[in-house]
Structure 1
Amino acid sequence: MKAVKLADWFLRLARRLLYLWVRTSVFPAKMQELPLDPMKPVCYVLQDRHFSNLLVLFEESRRAGLPRAEASLDSGGQRQPRSFFFLNRDRRLAVSERDAPRHSALLANLIGTTIADPQFDVQLLPVVILWGRSPGKQDSIIKALFSETWRPPGAWRQLLAIVLHGRQVLVRYNPPISLRDLVQGGLDEEQARRKLSRVLRVHFRRQREMAIGPDLSHRNTQVDAVLAGERVRAAITREAATHALSPEEARARAASFAREIASDYSHGAIRALELFLSWLWKRLYDGIETHNFAALTRIAPGQEIIYVPCHRSHIDYLLLSYLIRRNGLTPPHIAAGANLNLPIVGSLLRRCGAFFLRRSFKGEPLYAAVFDEYLHLMLARGFPLEYFIEGGRSRSGRMLMPKAGILGMSVHSFIREHSRPLLFVPVYVGYEKLLEGHSYVRELAGKAKQRESLWGLLKSMRTIKREFGKVHVSLGEPLALANFLDAQHAGWRDQAGDCPSPWSRAASRHAAAELARRINAAAVLNPVNLIALTLLATPRRSADELALQRMIAHYQALFSEASYAPTSIACKLDANEVVAYAERLAVVERFADPLGDLIRVSDKQAPLLAYFRNNVLHLFALPAVIACLLSHNRRLDGARVAQAVSGIYALLRAELFLRWSPAELPAASEAVIRVLIGRGLLLRSEVSGSLAAPEPISQEFAELHLLGESIRPMLERHFLTLALLEQQGSGRLTRQALEESCHRLGQRLTLLYVVNSPEFAEKVSFSAFIAALIEAEFLCEDEGGFMHFDHRLMTPLADAELLLSAEASQTIRRMAGAGVTEAGAESLSVAS
């Protein structure tokens, strides 16, 4: 008796101490609205075992004039010591999982009594207690981060919830459930317990969903489903046989992979991130401009959406998720590299919807099967996704050669189960300054990539006081996968079981290239792009202010009058405003001169500006090729111009992901030529139709030459590669040797001449071009790795030489010839 009084005293003291801080909102406000029968006993039901929740229930039941939750309960002549139980049992105190109780002892007694005594009934009163408002209504990052979630909180998290949300506790009494009604139908005790538990779980789930949103946590709801997949079970069996593991050990290995991959979506974390990013964007940028988002809100309902952005910065995925949420759509689950699964940061990203994947699945068939099944499960259940088909961030500013890895898995998943339409949404992200800009330049110069770390992330926060201009996010033309597959392989719906297969792999590669073209077609032309295009083409990265404005006006006229694509977005500023804008961002500097101010790019800024030129180089590739062709040859027959443009375009299209097909190229070229003629940069003979450049001493000729200079570094890189192949001959160089030779000769050219393209000698750039030649079937690789080609490759070589100055082509041919012996020796070494 003394122990009971001591316990009562302790509970009263704990309740009073808690309510020095806690303030509650109780629903319903009037207890008369609860249909309680005063003649029947009441038993309260709480979802999770927490002492704080119990104290709140004790106090609120007393204040509401309801039967006291801490009082004893009369159950058919038996006195139960309390009038409450927890639905979810605490298994942590059990010796083993098998020993843990599945149901409350009080619940079992009440069910047994109800079945045994037809006159007995008890009213089960579910009580929902939530600490804090809905995550979406929080206005504090910390409060949102520690708001109510679907995961049962531990002791420390519950303590934080009391501290942070104690002034906003929601207590909701729900309509009572008659235990007598539930056990009708001749159920035995075990069946009745299962039925009641199911009813209560559904009830609590609906109440929590109404308050904090649906449960999207894969860790809670989908890891088991992944392991239950037929393909994963088969992979587990193979893993056990291959590595001499027991089935339980192999399954545990698969489960660890699933937990390593799976996201842990939390509405509170998403809201906390939204609040933090709202603050960050204001500190970091002048503004964020979105384009074509209205179309997405119209097409998204009923569709499975996969966002496919270009990858320029770590800001990309934060920015896109933020904008999608701000536009009233569900933020996507994002595929993130395992290198970002850092302490603390990785956990936060996971709760914001990130799921992690390794860079390579090689040697881990079980991991590949688990990831494939996880991706399929998300697609089948309609979760929006986001991933980067380039694989990594572009260090050069151009769209990288897409990888068909996760995209291929998505295509195969859709072929396997296509009950829900799947829509790829290409996204272009354009910056005016980059947080990682200086690190990109260092990496292009040959320094090792800096590994991501928590310390590196914290150090980078120092840059938030800098000025980074605006960010532009533009949605491209969506790609409906079903229609795309119909065009690629008409009978794909009947071959769902035969996947992956050669045709589906080819379809994935074609889809990747098409999405890259659509991302580029959604490009936004900003002031920094225009400054980079114009000033980097000049010999000393300087220009008279009026001349600079004229060049900017030429680019803007080409953009508007010979538009690259309907989804491309123009710069709204005029030439004078563009220069002033670049000055404000400290991208350029003004040099006063008596004959007129000069605008120049500093040596420090030039490599960074090359990045922003490359962002939009594809928009002006065709005008630049035509300008380069005429400025170096002065006069050409119209047919020869068309032939040369066609030959060069075949090389450029694969590397820059240009949108026009060969059949569309003549019309696109003619539109460009008309603009150049209209602006006095080209002349056309009315008699012969031949094209000519203006007089060499004219300002227009100088401007035509500068327009062509923007594409010259890329043409020189192409010519260097083709010249090496020609000098060595078909079947004499391995792919690796060709890449190494191009890289070394590119570095030598950079040392000998001024090249305003930090990526000019980058091995990745040559690798991408060689891959484009293979994709376009100009090159083929035999089993030994040697590269073969025929006469078709010589036509682009001749056309490329036509676009370069005599000095440039002679220098490259001389260097290619000098590098042949070394390249050939290396290829033999590699082969052996």
Structure 2
Amino acid sequence: MIPKFLKKRIFKAPVSTDRTSETDASPIVTKPYANAPINQLYRKLSGQLLDVAVKPKLLGELPDFDSDEQVLRFYVLQDYSRSNSILIDLQTQEHNLPPALVGVNDAAHNIKENAAIIFLNHPSAKDNQLSPRLSRLVSAVLQYPELKVRLVPVSILWGRAPEKEDSLFKLLTADNWQDPSISKQLFNIGVMGRDTFVQFHPPQDLRTIINDSLKGESAGPNVFDLASKDLVSEDSSAKSSPATDSQDTESATTDNDVKTDAEKSPSYTLVAAADGNRELVRMLQQQLTIYLDKQRASMLGPDLSDRRNLVDKLVYSPAIKHAIELEAAEKGTSVRDARSQARGYANEMVNDYSHSIIRGFYKFLTWLWTQLYDGVEVHHFERVRDLATDYELIYVPCHRSHVDYLLLSYVIYKRGLSIPYVAAGDNLDVPVLGPLLRGAVAFYIRRSFRGNALYTAVLREYMHTLITRNTPIEYFIEGGRSRSGRLLPPKMGMLAMTVHSQLRQTNKPVVFIPTYIGYERIMEGGTYIGELKGKPKESESLIGLLKVGRKIERIFGNVHLSFGTPLHLSDFMTKFDVPANSLPSDRTDSPLDEKASAMVDNIGVKVMQHINKAAVITPVSLLSLVLLSAPKAALDENSCREQIALYQGLAQQLPYADDTVITDMSPQEIIDYGIKLKLIERTPHILGDIIQVAGKQAALLSYFRNNILHVFILLSFLSALVARNGRIKRSRLDSIAEQLYPFLQGELFLYYPAHGLAETLNKKVDSLLSHGLIVELGDDTLSVPESNSKRYQQLQVLATPVGQSLERYFMTLALLAQQGSGNLTESEVVDLCHLLGQRLSVLYADDIPDFFDRALFTSFISALTRLDYLQKDDETGILTFDHRINDIASHAKYVLTPDMMQILQQVASLNEEEITRAITEISNKKQRKFGRKR
């Protein structure tokens, strides 16, 4: 705490008596407001004392000022306090920004201000009093067309705990919405000084704001995206002009007994509060206030309700009352019993926000990331910040690791936004860890609740409550962690609940934030490979968490978070003609109609595509792609460098998407980095060192290769078509690619539309031609380079990655063709392909786990069904098909070697006895697994 004898000094600011002569040669000057040495000493002492007690953290980016020296710059703060004034002054000094507590004098425009701070609210201000400094600046801008004034809104948070609803201790909580009193300032400094945050928002041109506001009276939003109709107009009359009031409410350095600059300088006659400008100034002041209110709300989040009260509100809401009555009638129980069951469900899922837990996690994770990673790199976050004030944010990240939700929440919190409430599987609700995560805004949901109408109703209502309270939410659209490094097919349940809530009641518009998370090593790597190969999934527990803790000393490289292009729900509603507020607000069981259901499916696919667009091509993923495509996963170092440079060149020449990030490391730096992470190794040799995958790391590296496989898959496919055939007509190449593209698109969530694929293929071919990887012979014929050339070897390496996908397709098609139409169900085909993939991988594919991934076979069968190559009976699940299955398989000969096709045919050849035995064993295994879960 601050000693009593210093309290008055901290909150008493220095007085400016310095004036600049109007005949000064420089039109704009800034001077410290202190002719007397005592004032200079006072200001220095105040700053030093506050600097000792308060250690603010800067949020967001620093404002980008132009170099025009004729521009006047003022910082806009919402609430008056001397501690805020000194804090901002210290921050401007620290970050080399234009000073805040320095006089701003512009003789040419008759402007003399003793500080560059505008306060919008002052505890002693009258209800109708406008900001004098803002009034004078508005008047000056209107009078002088050449005058340039920039306003920099600034948010200051003394603590970041959201307000508690109905709290009796608001004066002693963290930052709230009331003007800070002297006692509150002392509490802030003494208790919250180490938990203080400052954010400078982008500079706004005052003339632009004025023009937009004047237009906004008839045309709509202004520069702050606020409609003038949303602003409550006050009585324009005032008892006195703010410019001549006895108290300058803007002056950060004036006591009540000190006259204002306007009074001391009769030449300063620009009175903005005249009848013609008063309403304009009032409107601007309200707009600035609302803007800063929204910024603060995006940082703190909504007010909190006590967990017990929230559960009560859920259980007694009209929607849950209706669900309880239906449950009681259907199950033949009493309403009281059904309500008790609903309360139990609510207690299972509802979070228990604890700011102390969140702060503890923040400090712990700050330490943990420095132990685990060389750095946490964040891309495109500003697009999220821009949306946070006016939209309901739904973060939809990919799911790579248990670390994901901690990492994402940490990054969001550190950058100044309210952390999202995270939907977590109830398997994480284990002793010790479960309550901690619940306090850090995790809410738990069951992994499966199909057929449980009451549980579904409670979860939908809880989601609806969060969304209508403008609480940011995060859920993993894949449902679980990817074991192969590819994106998993989206699960639509949480998406459908989000859409359902928005159609019941619209508060803020919903926007989805696709988020890519990429690691260079993952803690669960060995576990993932084991699970893909059939080992049972380990259940979460505190012991498991401690096991992970043993890996902290290992090197995990960098981790990347990339925020993709936002997806606005309103755009999809327009596209699918789904009207807003089209569902009853007091029901959770209203079904989505056909249009809304199709919209949900489309959103799911678009989210996955946008996650892939935001991919980060890391050094490790590039190394993995190069070395795993080489014979025996090894290349001489020079060839390895050249292949890496080739991949970088291809990705830069024709970027996969604008959001895709490519490492700027040189090829040699990438190789050295992989050696440092112990993923690859260098073997010295007299004819040139060999770079190869380190022992037993190939399976793990396939995970990181798959993170970026979508970026290069079409280039690989086109290279394979040319490489396997030696020569091929360009038109034939396009025809085969268009036939097989939908399956690659479904597997890797490629965003290129099928109807415009020809143009995309032409660009890819031109890129390969420009790099000399293929040769154009004329007469629309493409050919490989000279067989012994460097480019030919590079083409062979580039052609390899697509092979495994096509091998899986051909093996599945061969199985279907051999067993015949109408003999297998969809689940049986997937199970058998999974077994065949395991066998193929062990015998012929160096044990790479891609063939073990059941999701890849499910994706392929789904694509065949969607494209009507397969027809599924709704009752039995039996698959039927015609000769077109063989037609698709025939295209494999253009990419796969005859030897590989023969191997696949043999592997897929199963007699009736083998089929029966395999299906029985799989069925028994599933029953045992289900029994363990129960």
TM bin, normalised by shorter chain, reads 0.7 to 0.9
Among 787, 793, 806, which residue is 1:702 paired with? 793
Structure 1 gaps, min length 5: 1-21, 31-134, 154-164, 171-208
What's 1:603 paired with?
Answer: 695
Q: Aligned residues, how many?
A: 649
- Among 446, 459, 462, the residue aligned to 2:534: 446
SS at match of 1:427: strand
Q: How many Å apart are 1:434 and its aligned residue? A: 0.3
Structure 2 residue 834 is matched with structure 1 residue 746: no
How far the C-alpha of 1:496 sits from its partner, in A, is: 6.2
Q: Does 1:770 align with 2:770?
A: no
Q: Partners in 2 of 1:25 and 1:792 — Cα distance?
A: 87
Matched, 1:713 2:777: no
3-state SS of paired residue (2:416): coil
The 8 Å contact of residues 654 and 776 in structure 1, kept in 2 or not, is answered as no
Equivalent in 350, 353, 360 of residue 262 of structure 1: 350
Residue 295 in structure 1 maps to residue 383 in structure 2: yes
Give the equivalent residue in structure 2 for 1:237: 325
Instruction: For residue 373 of structure 1, report the CA deviation from its aligned partner.
Output: 0.5
SS of the aligned residue for 2:369 comes to: helix
Residue 585 of structure 1 is matched in structure 2 by 677
Partner of 1:724: 815
**Whole-angstrom distance in 1 between the partners of 2:701 and 2:300:** 46
Aligned partners of 2:506 and 2:580 also within 8 Å: no
Deviations 1:670-729 (A, max 9, x none): 22211211221101123x121111233333222111111112112111111111112223
Partners of 1:671 and 1:213 lie apart in 2 by 46
Structure 1 contact 217–265 (Cα < 8 Å) conserved: no
Q: How much identity, in percent, do the aligned residues show?
A: 39
Matched residue, 2:550: 462
- The partner residue of 1:734 within 825, 835, 854 is 825
Task: Give the drift of 1:245.
Answer: 3.0
Shift of 1:517: 0.7
How far apart, CA to CA, are the structure 2 residues paired with 1:770 and 1:596? 46
1:669 CA displacement:
1.5
Code of the residue aligned with 2:661 in structure 1: it is: I
TM-aligned CA deviation for residue 411 of structure 1: 1.2
Q: Tell me, in whole angstroms, the C-alpha distance in 2 between the residues paired with 1:601 and 1:707.
A: 17
**Structure 2 equivalent of residue 386 of structure 1:** 474
1:523 and 1:567 in contact (8 A); partners too: yes
Structure 2: distance between partners of 1:747 and 1:213? 48
- Residue 399 (structure 1) aligned to one of 457, 473, 487: 487
The answer for the alignment partner of 1:274 in structure 2 is: 362
Aligned partner of 2:782 in structure 1 is: 691
The equivalent position to 2:518 in structure 1, one of 430, 440, 447, is 430
Task: Give the distance between the partners of 1:308 and 1:816, measured in 2 at CA.
Answer: 38
Superposed displacement of residue 758, structure 1: 1.1
**How far off its partner does 1:502 sit?**
3.1
Does the alignment pair 1:362 with 2:450?
yes
Match for residue 644 of structure 2 among 549, 552, 570: 552
Is the contact made by 2:637 and 2:688 (CA closer than 8 Å) also made in structure 1?
yes
Determine helix, strand or coil for the equivalent of 1:306. Answer: strand
1:415 touches 1:499 (CA, 8 Å); kept in 2?
no
> In the TM superposition, what whole-angstrom CA distance separates every residue of 1:707-752 from its partner, at most 9, and x where no partner exists?
1111211211111111111222322211122112212221221222
- Root-mean-square deviation (CA, aligned residues, Å) is 3.1
Q: Which residue of 2 aligns with 1:8?
A: none
Of 560, 563, 568 in structure 1, the residue corresponding to residue 660 of structure 2 is 568
User: Aligned partner of 1:585: which letter?
Assistant: L
Structure 2 CA distance, aligned partners of 1:341 and 1:242?
30
What stretches of structure 2 of length at least 5 have no aligned partner? 10-155, 170-186, 193-296, 924-934
| Distance in 1, Cα, partners of 2:580 & 2:777 | 53
Alpha-carbon distance, 1:797 to partner:
2.0
Say if 1:462 and 1:728 are closer, same or farther in 2 by CA, change over 3 A.
Answer: same
Q: Which residue of 2 aligns with 1:334?
A: 422
* 1:247–1:495 Cα change, 3 Å: closer
CA contact (8 A) 2:377 2:561 kept: yes
Task: Give the Cα separation in 1 of the matches to 2:167 and 2:358.
Answer: 15
1:484 aligns with 2:575: no
Q: Which amino acid aligns with 1:771?
A: S
Q: Distance in 2 between matches of 1:570 and 1:756?
A: 29
- Distance change >3 Å, CA 370–CA 629, structure 1 → 2: same
Structure-2 change in CA distance of 1:702 and 1:278 (3 Å): same
One-letter identity of the residue aligned with 2:450: K
CA distance, structure 2, for counterparts of residue 228 and residue 735 of structure 1: 43
**Among 635, 638, 651, the residue aligned to 2:730:** 638
Which has the larger displacement, 382-391 or 668-677?
A: 668-677
Following the alignment from structure 2 to structure 1, what is the Cα–Cα distance between the partners of residues 388 and 350?
24
Structure 2: distance between partners of 1:612 and 1:150: 50
In structure 2, what residue type is equivalent to 1:514?
K
Partner of 1:682: 774
Deviation per residue, 1:760-814 (Å, 9 max, x gap):
1333332232233334443231021111234444443222332111111121123
SS in 2 for 1:222: helix
395 and 558 in structure 1: CA distance in 2 versus 1, 3 angstrom threshold: same
SS of the equivalent of 1:238 reads helix
Scaled by the length of structure 1, the TM-score of the pair is 0.73
Normalising by structure 2, we get a TM-score of 0.66
Distance 1:634 1:540 in 2: 23
TM superposition shift of 1:827: 7.5
Evaluate the alpha carbon distance shift between residue 718 and residue 213 of structure 1 in structure 2; reply closer, same or farther with a 3 A threshold.
closer
Which residue type is aligned with residue 708 of structure 1? A
Once the two structures are superposed, what CA deviation does each residue of 1:364-387 show, in whole Å capped at 9, x if it has no partner? Answer: 221111011100111111100000
CA distance, structure 2, for counterparts of residue 399 and residue 344 of structure 1: 31
**1:479-521 deviation line (CA, Å, top 9, x unaligned):** 1011112212355655668632333222212211110111011
Contact (CA 8 Å) 2:578, 2:595: kept in 1 or not? no
Cα-to-partner distance string for 1:457-500 (whole Å, 9 max, x where unaligned): 12211211111100110011111011112212355655668632
Structure-1 residue corresponding to 2:747: 655
Alignment pair present for 1:666 and 2:754: no
- The 3-state SS of whatever aligns with 1:329 is coil
Supply the distance in 2 between the matched residues of 1:218 and 1:405 (Cα, whole angstroms).
27
Which residue in the other structure is 1:12 paired with? none
Letter in 2 for 1:295: R
For 1:218 and 1:557, the matched residues in 2 are separated by 55
Q: CA 1:433/1:502 → structure 2, altered by over 3 Å: closer, same or farther?
A: same
| Mapped pair 1:512 → 2:604 | yes
**How far apart are residue 218 of structure 1 and its match?**
5.8
Residues 136, 268 of structure 1: 8 Å contact kept: no
- Give the Cα–Cα distance (whole angstroms) in 1 for the partners of residues 718 and 745 of structure 2: 15
| Aligned match of 2:440 | 352
Larger mean Cα displacement after TM superposition, 382-391 or 484-493: 484-493
The residue aligned with 1:539 is 631
Equivalent residues in 2 for 1:69-108 (5 A)? none
Secondary structure (helix, strand or coil) at the match of 1:290 reads strand
Conservation of the 8 A alpha-carbon contact between 1:557 and 1:675: no
Displacement of 1:823: 3.5
Matches of 1:483 and 1:733, distance apart in 2 = 41
Deviating more after overlay: 286-295 vs 772-781: 772-781
Match for 2:781: what amino acid?
S
Aligned mates of 2:699, 2:853 — CA distance in 1: 13
Confirm or deny: 8 A CA contact 2:502 2:580 kept in the other structure: no
| SS at structure 2 position matched to 1:719 | helix
CA distance in 2, matches of 1:380, 1:148: 17
Cα distance change, pair 756–573 in 1 and its aligned pair in 2 (3 A): farther
Contact 2:301 2:418 in 1 (8 A): no
* 2-structure distance, mates of 1:566, 1:661: 16
Kept after mapping to 2: 8 A contact 1:334/1:353: yes
SS at match of 2:850: coil
The match for 2:145 is none
> Are residues 168 and 830 of structure 1, via their aligned partners in 2, closer, same or farther at CA, if it must alter by over 3 Å?
closer
Greater alpha carbon shift after TM alignment, 799-808 vs 771-780: 771-780
